Amino acid sequence: MNNKLNWINPVMEKEFRLRMRTIRSPISILVYLLAIGLLALGFAYINMGNQPGGVLSIRKSSELFYFLSGAQLVLIAFMTPGLTAGVVSGEREKQTLNMLLTTQQSSGTIILSKLFSSLSFMLLTVVATMPLYSIVFLYGGVSPWQLLSVFIFYVFVMLLLGAVGVFFSTILKKTVLSVIATYGFVLFIFGFTALAGLFFGQIGGRGMDEDVLGYFLSFNPMAVLVSLMIPDFAKQLFKGHTWLQMWHLFCAAYTVISFVLLWLSIRYLRPIMKRKN
pLDDT digits 0-9 by tens, 198-222 = 887 777 556 667 777 878 888 999 9
CB 54: neighbour CB atoms within 10 A?
Answer: 9
On average, the pLDDT of the chain sits at 81
Question: Looking at this protein, which amino acid is placed at residue 141?
Answer: G
pLDDT tens digit string along 102-120?
A: 877 788 888 888 888 888 8
**What pLDDT is recorded for position 29?**
85
- The answer on pLDDT for 243 being more than 60 is yes
Helix axes 175-187, 58-84, angle to 10 degrees: 150
User: Is pLDDT of 74 > 50?
Assistant: yes
- Helix or strand holding residue 130 (H, E): none
The total number of residues written for the chain in this structure: 277
Residue 152, pLDDT score: 93
Give, for 35, the enclosing helix (H) or strand (E): helix 24-48
Please give the helix or strand (H or E) that residue 129 lies within, else none. none
- Give the span between the Cα atoms of 15 and 32, in whole angstroms: 21
Indicate the pTM of the whole model: 0.86
